[in-house]
Chain A
């Protein structure tokens, strides 16, 4: 047997058939569904008179349009009728096609990429898809997980398979010990800064190295989550004891004898020593600082002590035009330091940084402090379970006492479909994954950063180095 990468092992085990000059028919072990990218797929099934082939391998939740606020009557306040209609449609579709739904008011509802791992649905060696580009998150468990479009959602519902061309592999090796105050979010922002937002197109990333191995599962998910922001099809991390410890006892994880059998298989879910990749990047974790973006894509980032790049320093004319366009949108001056930039809103949450450890990091800085005058701070747990755990630890009190809002779970201001959004011109430090123009509300301007950096900005009212708040 030739030496194989983790990706190649999973790929090989899932090819049902491959005809000459055609894409592979790839089997999918877990299909996650949400309300925004599925209605047209279910309608397609109806039009063709098809059933869902494996409802037992399909799980749905409601996250994108769900309100995070309750009204005076204690009920969720929806942004508009369209959100309600889309959510009702998913409820109807799940009922008609026999799909389990972790819907509104369900104790396990949450962002699709948070609840999959939390429930133990996400497991090593699996192929996992969802009509959502941040499906790459699940790769943290040595799974091959990627986002698909609505046509492909229909394909998987109908056949449990997808037509796929084999991507190339790219190793991203991060060695060394991370300095204090520097997090998984800073690692991935530094990686995307290096590769650019198109550098990963056609590749599956595998993150390796001592800095990656030292991360816990939540931090590994943050890294894999943003693989798509470099354009990569997926991001993965080999399974190890940290993976197994996370999964042990989770509701849908194998139990007793089945656990032992699974463990034996999962231990092979790593690249063979000496297996080769089509491309390799290396990064020295010891040299990293907290990162922050200044522009309108996640590759436009700098260390927090850095300054806004000058278009005059860029030789490539297209790059220069992009930078000029980004700075005009962001209202920033070339050469301006990031430190001290004013901020109006802080958002802590999303499938990138909406897990318990993210809430803990934010709380570490907000504890005993107050958010700056006039600053709006939203803390949105990624799931009902994250919310319960955070409240059990008293984190909600820390946020509320500091003057932040503690909300119900959902995607919230990461995608701004549910009414949580920036006003035109406002600046936000956000722990989410995209700083595209208008992403957090039309005319809103986003700086992506870690929960530490976001919480520090909430207290200071401007961009500051979070390490000044950490002992």
Chain B
């Protein structure tokens, strides 16, 4: 996993509530056995017409989306299924952080495990960010994980919470499996204990 420290980028605005993982990556694209190439089908049913041509009205097809690292969404982003293809598709497109006022539980965990930063801000802050970015759409914002802040247009700053463990993993780019494997002996002891209890 690549470390996440600080990014500076324009923001793609998709302020819709309850965007489910079926919208992020429809089920018909889950037949892959690897993680590559999912970015092309990110938001496929909103992004392409029935004949496969891009829908020019959809925000990802607008020139400003090219190269953007940050997506701004509404409440409960990533609700629905457990498919990790959702963060894989978002990262495949190029996103490194998602700003939302809340996230689906499984999506949130999946994102962290891939180095995709879920930036959870309270409703007031969310509204302020939306207003500022609507007013200054081309502005670049900076997301700094170390200080847990978002630098916004007009000199504004917003803070976001993240638990210490996830933050440390993201900053170092460590994946959790290595950490879990370091407890092998304790896991063996636990297994012996439950075997006796049976």
Is A163 a contact of B33 with CB atoms below 8 Å? Answer: no
Chain A residue numbers with a CB within 8 Å of B184 are 159
CA distance A408 to B194 in the complex (A): 39
Q: Give the contact-size bracket for chain B.
A: 35 or more
Neighbour of A149 across the interface among B50, B113, B183, B186, CB < 8 A: B113
Residue of B nearest to A21 (CB): B164
Residue of A nearest to B77 (CB): A198
Neighbour of A198 across the interface among B16, B18, B164, B165, CB < 8 A: B18
Neighbour of A201 across the interface among B30, B76, B176, B179, CB < 8 A: B76
Is A424 a contact of B50 with CB atoms below 8 Å? Answer: yes
CA distance A155 to B32 in the complex (A): 20
Binds B, one of A35-43, A177-185, A352-360: A35-43
Residues facing B in A409-468 (CB within 8 A) are: 415-417, 424, 434, 436-439, 442-443
Chain A residue numbers with a CB within 8 Å of B175 are 151
Tell yes or no: A152 within 8 A of B by CB.
yes
Neighbour of A16 across the interface among B32, B82, B109, B190, CB < 8 A: B190
CA distance A37 to B26 in the complex (A): 14
Is B33 a contact of A151 with CB atoms below 8 Å? Answer: no
Residue of A nearest to B28 (CB): A417
Chain A residue numbers with a CB within 8 Å of B59 are none
CA distance A184 to B83 in the complex (A): 27
Neighbour of B180 across the interface among A148, A161, A297, CB < 8 A: A161
Neighbour of B33 across the interface among A89, A133, A165, CB < 8 A: A89
Is B27 a contact of A415 with CB atoms below 8 Å? Answer: yes
Is B34 a contact of A43 with CB atoms below 8 Å? Answer: yes
Which of A64, A231, A321, A415 has its CB near the most chain B CB atoms (within 10 A)? Answer: A231
CA distance A37 to B88 in the complex (A): 12
A438-B26 contact given A154-B177, A158-B181, A321-B16, CB 8 Å threshold:
yes
CA distance A381 to B15 in the complex (A): 39
Tell yes or no: A25 within 8 A of B by CB.
yes
CA distance A48 to B180 in the complex (A): 14
Is A439 a contact of B22 with CB atoms below 8 Å? Answer: yes
Chain B residue numbers with a CB within 8 Å of A132 are 81-82
A152-B109 contact given A27-B187, A437-B22, CB 8 Å threshold:
yes
CA distance A49 to B28 in the complex (A): 31
Is A133 a contact of B81 with CB atoms below 8 Å? Answer: yes
Residues facing A in B40-62 (CB within 8 A) are: 45, 50
Neighbour of A297 across the interface among B20, B83, B179, CB < 8 A: B20
Residues facing B in A26-46 (CB within 8 A) are: 27, 36-37, 39-40, 43-44
Question: 7 shortest A-B CB distances, which residue pairs?
Answer: A198-B76, A82-B31, A149-B110, A39-B33, A149-B84, A147-B82, A151-B113
Query: Could you tell me which A residues sit within 8 Å of B by CB distance?
Result: 16-17, 21-23, 25, 27, 36-37, 39-40, 43-44, 48, 53, 64-65, 80, 82-83, 85-86, 89, 131-133, 147-152, 154-155, 158-163, 165, 197-198, 201-202, 228, 231, 233, 258, 261, 297, 318-319, 321-322, 325, 415-417, 424, 434, 436-439, 442-443
Q: Can you name 19 extra interface pairs (CB under 8 A) apart from A21-B165, A231-B79?
A: A17-B186, A25-B183, A39-B34, A83-B31, A151-B114, A152-B113, A159-B184, A162-B180, A163-B165, A163-B179, A198-B18, A198-B102, A233-B105, A417-B31, A434-B20, A434-B81, A436-B23, A437-B23, A438-B22
